[in-house]
Structure 1
Amino acid sequence: MTDDARFEDGREVPLYLGAFDADDLQVISGLAQDAVFPVTEMTWRAAERRFALLLNRFRWEDPVRAQHAPERVRSLLVIENVLRVASQGIDRNDADTVLSLLSVSFEPAGDGAGYLTLILAGDGAIRLEIEALEVTLKDVTRPYLAASGKVPRHDI
């Protein structure tokens, strides 16, 4: 007979999540909230129909966040099946621009197609016309201490 797993036996592992419907996407949106990235870390490969961001993601899922300084981790947010990309409120020519991701949402348009919108702080947005919803969020580094030393806040 085997023993049941204990909480202490667990270990932190990098996130690697996929979203194929709006409910899955809400999970990814919550985990990517308050991620920051330079405008230069945005890539659209039209021939591959892929849009990707290299994010500095706040670790909202950290189970012991209250016991140590806030952490971030570098993560790839990849959207597949992209037909068109449009943006507003973003100066893509200013390499020093740092953007902050607030949310990711999906608006269906029929037959699995639709629009995926990345809402950014400061009234910026990126809208992707997609043939089918397929999004991944994958941590690609170890966590590191957040430079600000603070947990992101949203005062209402």
Structure 2
Amino acid sequence: MTEDAKFEDGGEEPLRLKAMDGDDLKVMSALVQDAVFPGSEMQWDKAQRRFGLLLNRFRWEDAENAKTRGRAVERVQSVLAFEDVARVQTQGVLRDADTILSLLSVEFEPADDGAGRVILTLAGDGAIALDVETLEAVLRDVTRPYIAPSRTVPEHRD
């Protein structure tokens, strides 16, 4: 009998996940919640139909382990990439190195034909909308974890 993976099973291993449907994307969204990135670290390659972000992701999968073991919480640089992107729209997003954006959630609004829209919601009423022909997203850690500069777990107030 096999057992489902647990959130903390991620431990020290770098993440490499793929989302092919809305349920997969919900898991990915939870892992990138509170990721921060400079406005200059997003790229749409129109010819390759790929949109990507270089994020400083809070390591939610290790936060409880860090707390119980008395370690500092961590972040890690990660790439979040989407394939088959036909169009990108932004609202309230400055694309410069001095503007730090905070990712709150990633959602998929499917269309009838398998296509749809990916919405990346940012703090401060910003958003990025990706019109995709199919949902295919990859989240991949690209550096070793480092101590979160704030040394605190992100909080959300209602």
Q: Report the TM-score when normalising by structure 1.
A: 0.90
In the aligned structure 2, how far is the partner of 1:153 from the partner of 1:51? 28
Structure 2 counterpart SS, 1:18? strand
Q: Give the share of equivalent positions with the same residue, in percent.
A: 62
Change (3 A) 1:108 1:74: same
In the aligned structure 2, how far is the partner of 1:155 from the partner of 1:103? 15
Change (3 A) 1:117 1:64: same
Instruction: Give yes or no for contact 2:11–2:61 (8 Å, CA) kept in 1.
Output: no
In the aligned structure 1, how far is the partner of 2:11 from the partner of 2:53? 27
Q: Which runs of 5+ in 2 are unaligned?
A: 1-9
> Given the alignment, which residue of 91, 97, 109 partners 2:94?
91
In the aligned structure 2, how far is the partner of 1:11 from the partner of 1:69? 14
Which residue of 2 is the match for residue 115 of structure 1? 117
Structure 2 counterpart SS, 1:61? helix
Instruction: Give yes or no for contact 2:17–2:140 (8 Å, CA) kept in 1.
Output: yes
In the aligned structure 2, how far is the partner of 1:153 from the partner of 1:12? 23
Runs of 4+ in structure 1 deviating by more than 3 angstroms, as ranges, are none
In the aligned structure 2, how far is the partner of 1:146 from the partner of 1:34? 12
In the aligned structure 1, how far is the partner of 2:111 from the partner of 2:11? 40
In the aligned structure 2, how far is the partner of 1:57 from the partner of 1:11? 15
> Given the alignment, which residue of 75, 87, 93 partners 1:72?
75
Structure 1 counterpart SS, 2:27? helix
In the aligned structure 1, how far is the partner of 2:142 from the partner of 2:94? 27
Structure 1 counterpart SS, 2:111? strand
Structure 2 counterpart SS, 1:48? coil
Which residue of 2 is the match for residue 7 of structure 1? none
Structure 1 counterpart SS, 2:40? helix
Which residue of 1 is the match for residue 39 of structure 2? 39
Q: Which runs of 5+ in 1 are unaligned?
A: 1-9
Aligned residues: 146
RMSD: 1.2
Amino acid at match of 2:77: R
